[in-house]
């Protein structure tokens, strides 16, 4: 991957030699298998990434049934077994019955870790160890910039046998790179604009610390002037304030958390202090997600932000 502001770390060992598989994940754990056709079970985020790269898991576990899971929307799930539909719960008997060669997930650092060495999707260390007894686990660090996260999944998909350098996958990467270049150019032209990422909830408003969110890390690296909240943090990820103080900051552009469990733009209209933000009054509002996992979705996020920046002015 070329052209992004921060260069990805050197590729870790990943090979798909005839009749073999080898990959070292972001925890420096290596899986080597003397076979090429690898049966993969994936956590929903990893499944999203891998399926956009030509790798179809035999099973997926996540936080919702397939039909209502936004991470799996639009993906061909025919022949894929659901082995967990509540966050942190994995049906071990179903997992074992699928005879996976490898389990793929992501992991967080800092406040996102449920237990030492925890991988996303497992509620307890015992559950993770039970799964690991069935098949080895590979995990990608999803606290890195999203561009890097996608690149690491691309390396894993290639090791699993996907051709990530041709066809629709290569075209998606090229289109994404063009969108990045356009955003960089726009950010340079609109360097006076400040951008604040928020996660609005029923009782409080959360201002995101950009250095801890993959998409926001990329935006900063590409020249977008993303604000860092200055108040007391409720975790390493956010400053939280009551709705009475929602207009504490006055950015040029507000990015609203687009994940399904947060308040959407329609619901936000009912909050007077939200409407007191000058950027909201000017219609200078966009969206953001914590981490983008594939080039197609990320391209749309980037293009949408570029359009917002182009039509926005100082407030």
- State pTM to two decimals: 0.89
Residue given tokens 């619901």 in the structure block: 267
pLDDT in tens, 250-291: 999 999 998 766 777 788 988 999 999 999 999 999 999 888
pLDDT in tens, 214-256: 999 999 999 999 999 999 998 889 999 999 999 999 999 999 9
| 80-84, 91-95, 270-274, range with the lowest pLDDT | 270-274
Q: CA-CA distances (angstroms) from residue 315 to 48, 109, 194?
A: 38, 36, 10
Q: What is the 3-state secondary structure (H, E, C) of the chain?
A: CCCCCCCCCCCCCEECCCCCEEEECCCCCEEEECCCCCCEEEEHHHHHHHHCCCCCCCEEECCCCHHHCHHHCCCCCCCCEEEECCCCCCCHHHHHHCCCCEEEEEECCHHHCCCCCCCCCCCCHHHHHHHHHHCCEEEEECCCCHHHHHHHHHHHHHHCCCCCCCHHHHHHHHHHHHHHHHHHHHHHHCCCCCEEEEEECCCEEEEECHHHCHHHHHHHHCCCCECCCCCCECCCCEEEEEHHHCCCCCCCEEEEECCCCCCCHHHHCCCHHHHCCHHHHCCCEEEECCCCCCHHHHHHHHHHHHHHHHHCCCC
Q: Give the C-alpha separation, 277 to 275, whole Å.
A: 5
Contacting residues for 2 by C-beta, under 8 A, at least 6 apart: 177
Q: How many CB atoms lie within 10 A of CB 165?
A: 10
Domains of the chain and any CATH numbers: 14-163 (3.40.50.1980), 169-311 (3.40.50.1980)
| 8-22, 98-112, 175-189, range with the lowest pLDDT | 8-22
- Closest Cα to residue 292, out of 281, 308, 305? 305
pLDDT averaged over every residue in the chain: 91
Per-residue pLDDT, 13: 35
pLDDT in tens, 121-156: 999 999 999 999 999 999 999 999 999 999 999 999
Residue bearing the bigger pLDDT, 15 or 226: 226
Contacting residues for 130 by C-beta, under 8 A, at least 6 apart: 92
| pLDDT for 11 beyond 60 | no
pLDDT tier, 18 (very low <50, low <70, confident <90, very high otherwise): low
| pLDDT for 307 beyond 70 | yes
Q: Give the C-alpha separation, 6 to 282, whole Å.
A: 32
| 5-14, 90-99, 248-257, range with the lowest pLDDT | 5-14
């Amino acid at each position: 991957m070329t052209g992004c502001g921060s260069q990805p770390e050197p590729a870790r060992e990943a090979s798909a030699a005839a009749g073999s598989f080898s990959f070292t994940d972001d925890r420096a754990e290596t899986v080597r298998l003397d076979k090429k056709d690898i049966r993969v079970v994936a956590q929903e985020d990893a499944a999203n990434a891998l399926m956009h790269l030509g790798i179809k898991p035999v099973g997926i576990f996540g936080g919702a049934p397939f039909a209502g899971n936004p991470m799996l929307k639009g993906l061909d799930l025919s022949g894929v077994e659901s082995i967990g539909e509540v966050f942190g719960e994995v049906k071990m008997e179903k997992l074992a019955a699928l005879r996976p060669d490898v389990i793929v997930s992501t992991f967080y650092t800092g406040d996102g870790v449920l237990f030492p060495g925890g991988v996303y999707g497992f509620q307890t260390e015992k559950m993770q160890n039970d799964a690991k007894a069935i098949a080895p686990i590979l995990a990608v660090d999803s606290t890195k910039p999203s561009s890097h996260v996608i690149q690491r999944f691309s390396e894993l998909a290639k090791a699993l046998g996907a051709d990530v350098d041709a066809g629709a996958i290569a075209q998606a990467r090229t289109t994404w790179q063009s969108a990045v270049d356009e955003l960089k150019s726009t950010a340079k032209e609109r360097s006076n604009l400040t951008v604040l990422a928020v996660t609005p909830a029923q009782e409080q408003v959360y201002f995101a610390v950009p250095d801890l969110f993959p998409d926001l890390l990329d935006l900063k690296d590409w020249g977008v002037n993303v604000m860092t909240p200055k108040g007391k943090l409720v975790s390493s990820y956010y400053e939280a304030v009551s709705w009475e103080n929602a207009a504490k900051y006055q950015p040029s552009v507000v990015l609203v958390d687009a994940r399904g469990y947060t308040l959407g733009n329609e619901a936000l209209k009912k909050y007077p202090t939200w409407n007191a933000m000058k950027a909201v009054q000017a219609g200078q509002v966009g969206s953001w997600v914590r981490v983008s996992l594939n080039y197609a979705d990320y391209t749309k996020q980037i293009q949408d932000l570029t359009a917002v920046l182009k039509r926005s002015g100082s407030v």
